[in-house]
Amino acid sequence: MQLAWSSDDLRFRDEVREFLASELTPELKAAAAGMTSVYAPPPVAIAWQKKLHAKGWVAPSWPVEWGGCDWSVARRYIFARETSEAGAPPLSPMGLGMCGPVLLHYGTEEQKRRHLPPMLAGDIFWCQGYSEPNSGSDLASLQMKAERDGDHFVCTGRKIWTTHAHYADWIFCLVRTTRLEKPQLGISFLLIDTKSPGVSVRPIISLSGEHVQNEVIFDDVRVPVANVVGQIDDGWTVAKYLMEFERGGHAYAPSLIKRVDVLRRHLAETGQAMPGRLAALRTEIEALDAQELIFNAGLSNGAAPGPMASALKIIGTELSQRLTELEVEAALPHAIIFQPHRTLPGGDVPGYVPPTDGLGVGPDWAARAIPKYFNDRAGSIYAGTNEIQRGILWQYLARRNG
């Protein structure tokens, strides 16, 4: 495939750079630099999303008719690289990158009209309700039930490890609407207003001292049947579609390249050197970068994410974990003296309250090394463990090779 940029692509790159220079404020950049999770704090992500929305650049792959950009693969790639290099905070993927594509593909016209515009504008924040206390990698074993009562479902059960549920306005859930012999059957994909009576959220504090995940409890929550996406009892089909986008729709390489370059600068500042290992890791990340570009080219031509999404998820998360190990090594000895409640750069972003200040030890980038290391351990677990992804790839190869 042709990877050279056209004159139009280069003009677009310059336009992106001008926009970033004008709209990406020092406060937003500081908040992004202070991240130790893969997710930006919701007020930070929303503040940046609203700037992108005003420009019309929120949803690069959505169709224009629903407010998206419908950009070419080249433009999406350029935009991802430029925003990452500039230090922009990532947008929350739960709405724009997960629920949005599902609604575009499976949603009714009414569901699209109701949910897509506020999702695009950043007026409504979404979270994902998949995992349960006893159903994680084996997602089909989920137990949260939704019993039909006229034109409503009555939902009872729990979801766990729910990112930013304490901030979300809506949650998309997999629920069991019928008990059938095959566990993948009888599941429905349901949209639930988190302000509904009977919904409560309990925080889960991570090893890094942060509140990102939650447990969500549903106690006889009434949800309109009209909130089912796709067919009742066929939510597994919808879920598989979403999971492919969740695994492969994330571009790992641009942020990893940025992190390698930042680490190289920190090493130079402290007089350290690990050129061989950094160069080897950078080479693998560049290879991932090329694979993600090829993968997205296929998506733009109408291809389903398929098993390649699993491969990219494995490679991206494991490269990120290896990079955090180098970051911890570079931050020694400051990384050892981990302060869970130390203030990290958050910037003056409306609605964003950084952690409580404590005893500071070493530079801020070193203070972030251990929290990032802890948080990155989850990368090979969420969105389906990497062991599960390897199983998916093995099954695909076994079928293809007879």
CATH number for the domain that contains residue 185:
2.40.110.10
Same domain, 212 and 286: no
| 105 is a domain residue | yes
Q: What is the pLDDT of residues 216-274, one digit of tens each?
A: 999 999 999 999 999 999 999 999 888 766 555 567 888 899 899 888 888 887 777 77
Same domain, 89 and 203: no
End-to-end CA distance of the chain: 29
294: in domain:
yes
For residue 13, is it within any domain?
no
pLDDT at 252: 87
Residue 288 inside a domain? The answer is yes
* Model pTM score: 0.84
| Co-location of 234 and 377 in the same domain | no
The answer to whether residues 305 and 370 belong to one domain is yes
4 located within any domain:
no
Tens-place pLDDT, residues 259-309: 998 888 888 877 777 778 889 999 999 999 988 888 877 766 666 667 888
Range of the domain at 89: 19-121
Q: Please tell me whether residues 31 and 133 are part of one structural domain.
A: no
Domain annotation covers residue 14: no
Are residues 233 and 297 located together in one domain of the fold? Answer: no
Domain CATH code at residue 382: 1.20.140.10
**137 and 182 co-located in one domain:** yes
What lies within 8 Å, CB to CB, of 292 at 6+ separation is 251, 252, 253, 312
- What percent of the chain is predicted at pLDDT more than 90? 55
Residues paired with 216 in a beta bridge: 159, 201
Q: Could you tell me the two tokens for 123?
A: 């007026």
Domain boundary among 104, 121, 138: 121
The total number of structural domains that make up the chain = 3
258 & 351 share domain: yes
380 with 264, same domain: the answer is: yes
| Domain assignment of residue 9, yes or no | no
Residue 79 falls within a domain, yes or no? yes
Q: Which residue has the tokens 């290099």?
A: 85
In 3D, which of 194, 178, 82, 172 has the Cα closest to residue 128? 172
Boundary of a domain, candidates 74, 93, 121? 121
Report pLDDT digits (tens) over 170-223.
999 999 999 988 889 999 999 999 999 999 999 998 877 788 999 999 999 999
Asked whether residue 93 falls in the same domain as residue 221, the answer is no
Q: Is the pLDDT of residue 353 over 50?
A: no
Are residues 42 and 165 located together in one domain of the fold?
no
Q: Do 372 and 230 lie in a common domain?
A: no
CATH code at 86?
1.10.540.10
Question: Poorest-confidence range of 65-69, 72-76, 336-340?
Answer: 336-340
Choosing from 121, 147, 174, the residue where a domain stops is 121
